[in-house]
């Protein structure tokens, strides 16, 4: 029987590609260090907009299947081999952008019963026993219904797991400090004439930007982790075009590819000096090493 790694990290995301954009460095770093990294993705992103013209024919289930393959390739780049779809492939459909008729599809994630969906995630928590969980803030970073619902499901699952005797020691939300975003966009403005992109996004287009003082934790990766993140993002070719250190989504607006990733601790004890940021998601957790 294979022994379970001592450190175990669970990430909960809405669609394929969200994990690589938000947490690619973090996932690559911990996987390389021997931690068990589990990704739960809630939908296959069947309603995503496709960038490459040669793939524009992909829609619905065909797009979902293709994005599942992209996700598998991205996880190989990050060194992560525990990837799950909440409730199994196709259990919850992509809800589309907020305010569209797609939101009313009874099979979409936005219409899911949060408690029932959370129980599916609790099953993963019981099996994996993660000490750390990462997900979105209550707004889902930028108001997408699936991101908001993924947040609700993850936070409810943590409550239910605690009641079931499987506590998660620390919960983090994905964040970007405002000064970091502003500095990165200033550099982007200077670099834009030399990039294969015509226009730049703005700080308001980056999910999870908050005041610097809300940031509790920053994760820096080595060159290998940074390269793995870029490779993982490239694997999501229907959704992302990368020209390091920048990328675009389907709106064709350039934005920075962040190689330091930031978090806000919202459950659990912050380690070390309250005025200093943690540099390890597992900081302060008593880890029982496998014998």
Distance of CA 9 to the CA centre of its chain: 12
Residue with tokens 């952008």: 97
Is residue 169 within 8 A of residue 268, CB to CB? The reply is yes
154 by Cβ neighbours in 10 Å (0-12 / 13-18 / 19+) ranks as buried
**Around Cβ 166, how many Cβ atoms within 10 Å?**
17
d(CA 273, CA 17): 34
Residue 144 in marked binding region: no
For residue 249, give Cα distances in angstroms to 82, 122, 151, 238, 280.
26, 32, 22, 9, 29
Question: Both tokens of residue 175?
Answer: 């964040």
201 and 249 Cβ atoms separated by less than 8 Å: no
CB distance 214 to 175 below 8 Å: yes
C-alpha distances in angstroms, 68 versus 41, 63, 94, 221? 10, 9, 13, 26
Tokens of 50: 């496709």
pTM assigned to the model: 0.96
Please give the Cα distance from 164 to 66 (Å, whole number).
Answer: 36
Does 18 belong to an annotated binding site?
A: yes
Q: Quick check: 141 and 175 in contact, CB under 8 A?
A: no
- Residue 139, annotated as binding a ligand: no
Q: Are 218 and 24 in contact (CB under 8 A)?
A: no
Do 238 and 50 meet the contact criterion of CB atoms below 8 Å apart? yes
pLDDT in tens, the chain (291 residues): 456 789 999 999 999 999 999 999 999 999 999 999 999 999 999 999 999 999 999 999 999 999 999 999 999 999 999 999 999 999 999 999 999 999 999 999 999 999 999 999 999 999 999 999 999 999 999 999 999 999 999 999 999 999 999 999 999 999 999 999 999 999 999 999 999 999 999 999 999 999 999 999 999 989 999 999 999 999 999 999 999 999 999 999 999 999 999 999 999 999 988 889 999 999 999 987 643
């Amino acid at each position: 029987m294979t022994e379970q790694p001592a450190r175990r990290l669970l990430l909960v995301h809405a669609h394929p590609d969200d994990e690589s954009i938000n947490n690619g460095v973090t996932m690559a770093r911990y996987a390389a260090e021997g931690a068990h990294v589990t990704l739960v993705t809630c939908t296959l992103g069947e309603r995503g907009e496709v960038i490459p013209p040669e793939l524009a024919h992909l829609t619905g289930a065909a797009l979902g299947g293709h994005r599942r393959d992209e996700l598998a390739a991205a996880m190989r780049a990050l060194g992560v081999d525990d990837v799950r779809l909440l409730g199994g492939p196709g259990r919850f459909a992509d809800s589309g952008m907020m305010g569209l008729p797609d939101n009313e599809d009874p099979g979409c994630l936005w219409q899911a019963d949060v408690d029932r969906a959370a129980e599916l995630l609790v099953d993963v928590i019981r099996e994996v026993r993660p000490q750390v969980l990462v997900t979105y803030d209550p707004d889902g970073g930028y108001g997408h219904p699936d991101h908001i619902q993924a947040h609700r499901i993850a936070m409810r699952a943590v409550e239910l797991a605690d009641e079931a005797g499987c506590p998660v020691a620390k919960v983090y939300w994905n964040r970007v400090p405002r000064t970091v975003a502003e500095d990165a966009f200033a550099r982007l403005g200077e670099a834009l004439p030399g990039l294969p992109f015509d226009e730049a996004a703005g700080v308001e287009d980056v999910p999870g930007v908050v005041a610097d003082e809300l940031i509790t934790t920053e994760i820096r990766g080595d060159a290998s982790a940074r390269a793995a993140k870029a490779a993982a993002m490239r694997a999501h070719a229907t959704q992302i075009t990368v020209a390091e250190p920048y990328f675009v989504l389907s709106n064709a607006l350039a934005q920075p590819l962040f190689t330091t990733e930031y978090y806000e601790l919202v459950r659990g004890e912050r380690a070390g000096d309250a005025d200093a940021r943690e540099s390890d998601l597992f900081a302060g957790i008593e880890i029982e090493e496998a014998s």
